[in-house]
Amino acid sequence: MQIQLLYFDGCPSHTTAHERLHRVLAELGLDLPVQVIAVETDAAAQQWQFPGSPTIRINGHDIDPLPAATPYALACRAYRHPDGRITPLPSADLIRTALQHARAVPTTAADPETPPID
């Protein structure tokens, strides 16, 4: 399972998202590396298809997919929780559900290596 945490440096939430991701991994007994990716330019945001910070992907899939028309940019991201709250962080439940789903579904995606950045 490949796990990526994408962020931009202006995002105050990425550190907490990283800690929350590691806490959920530990709760699930998963000792997996997390590839932390700093998205630093608008060009990189386009190449990474980066909808905002923080973004967590598992096997190349966003844990909270956004509509196709969502722009890619160096921006903070918002997550809607089941109770209607909107926060800058994914909930532990969202992360847990995505990890459990990825564990249950065989990986068929191509290896999402770091895209070249011109």
- pLDDT tens, per residue, the chain with 118 residues: 999 999 999 899 999 999 999 999 999 999 999 999 999 999 999 999 999 999 999 999 999 999 888 999 999 999 998 899 999 999 999 999 999 999 888 665 444 444 544 4
- pLDDT given at position 118: 41
User: Residue 104 is encoded by which pair of tokens?
Assistant: 């249950």
- What domains lie within the chain, and their CATH numbers? 3-104 (3.40.30)
pTM over 0.85: yes
